[in-house]
Amino acid sequence: MPESSKPLQLLLASSNVGKLREFQAFAGPLAQRIELGLLKAYSSLPEFEESHPTFGENAVGKAIHYSRDCAELVMADDSGLVVPALHGAPGVQSARYAGPNATDADRNAKLLAEMRALNGEQRCARYVCVLALARQGQVRGVFSAAADGVILDKPSGAGGFGYDPIFFCMALGKTYAEISQQEKNQHSHRGKAFRKLLDFLML
């Protein structure tokens, strides 16, 4: 995109300001060339039910759903933690793994209990993120990335959220709850997927 061009408008299919800030941080030096915002009509539109069995289907379905009446590009995501030894759980149920009103601590406790008898490579896990781009109900691109790690037998660190206190990143030698936000932006599944999306848009 030429330097003189206006910033590309990209709307996030969410009302979560924290998620918006996270993606803005991922953009890094490209932030000046992309105008990333929340979909203003998000809360007034019928909710998309993320009931599909894969991250990709949920992300694509969500992007199509919220972009139908929008002229701008709309981006939707689905992400979660995958433990192969648990047949992919928590997977697409990552946010609902311990019930609809559970806390992060509840979800971590349930996962640790499920993995109590697992050792070695059985404790390998990966964070997965799929991002989908759509405009006026048509898919324009799908991007995925993963971050590999190991599930510890107890939480460590006070930062992050979700499963971060028990997700140990081998490359960094720390859990995601023990690293800086800058380190997490560089290594996280969402950050890597979003940078693929930006490369596709040739920003």
Q: Which of 42, 51, 1 is nearest to 19 (CA)?
A: 42
Check residue 88 and give left, alpha or beta (phi > 0: left; psi -120 to 50: alpha): left
Residues contacting residue 122 through CB under 8 Å, at least 6 positions apart: 85, 115
d(CA 61, CA 48): 8
Among 69, 78, 106, 164, the active-site one is 78
Task: Determine whether 164 is an active site residue.
Answer: no
**Residues listed for the chain:** 203
d(CA 137, CA 160): 34
d(CA 53, CA 85): 18
**Residue 174 to residues 66, 123, 180, 187, Cα–Cα distance (Å):** 37, 15, 10, 12
**Catalytically active residues, by annotation:** 78
